[in-house]
Amino acid sequence: MLKQYLEVGQIVGTHGVRGEVRVNPWCDTPEFLKRFRTLYFDATGERAVKVISSRVHGNIVLMQLEGISTVEEAAVLRNKVVYMNRKDAKIPDNSYFIQDLIDCKVIDADNGTEYGVLTNVSETGANDVWHITKDGKEYLIPAIPPVVIETDVVSGIIKIRPLRGIFDDEN
């Protein structure tokens, strides 16, 4: 089941004396985080906070949050994770969030062999690398079109055509 509220960043500090916070975005770009008018301090959506203003500053986002007007109030929020509501995010078709991939079952697109569960994603620059775990052993696969054949995060199944040697001892 897909989560309704997804982690989107972490407050890492304050900015200025009027209560702005510095948010380290956990998304593809800081601009994506800047789009939201409401964020949440919990994964259930019960602790909403209105975003008064936001702007990109280097690789972080500076935000003014409703009810926070002093540097002291902002400092209390340091290290808090902020969440977004999935319904507020506009993403292209056939796109998904990394959090949606975690715990998906990974199987062979051709013969149905089960390779394990996707447990982590490393963003390397050229392409993401997916960490597949089975029986305590971790395998790394490149998340590229020739390898990743189908990704169905709703059913929790990823079909791949692995490169030779990843799941066996071939050279």
pLDDT by residue (tens digit) across 116-168?
999 999 988 789 999 999 999 999 999 999 999 999 998 999 999 998 888 87
- Cα–Cα distance list, 121 to 78, 102, 118, 140, 157 (Å): 25, 8, 8, 9, 16
Instruction: Give 39-67 pLDDT, tens digit per residue.
Output: 999 999 999 999 999 999 999 999 999 99
In a domain, 170, yes or no: no
What confidence category does residue 96 fall into, taking pLDDT thresholds of 50, 70 and 90?
confident
Number of domains in the chain: 2
Q: Give yes or no for residue 170 having a pLDDT over 60.
A: no
Look at residue 70 and tell me if it is in a domain: yes
pLDDT for 90 equals 84
Query: What range defines the domain where residue 74 resides?
Result: 5-87
Q: Among residues 87, 121, 142, which one ends one of the domains? A: 87
Verify that 30 and 67 share a domain, yes or no. yes
Q: 96 near 87, Cβ under 8 Å?
A: no
Structure token digits, residue 108: 């062979």
Among 14, 13, 11, residue whose Cα is nearest residue 49: 11
Where residue 30 sits, what CATH number does that domain have?
A: 2.40.30.60
pTM: 0.78
In a shared domain, residues 76 and 132: no
CA 8, CA 1: separation in Å to the nearest integer? 18
Q: What is the dihedral of CA 148, 149, 155, 156, to 10 degrees?
A: -20
Task: Please check whether residue 92 lies inside any domain of the structure.
Answer: no
**Looking at the structure, do residues 38 and 67 belong to the same domain, yes or no?**
yes
The model's confidence at residue 171, banded by pLDDT at 50, 70 and 90, is very low
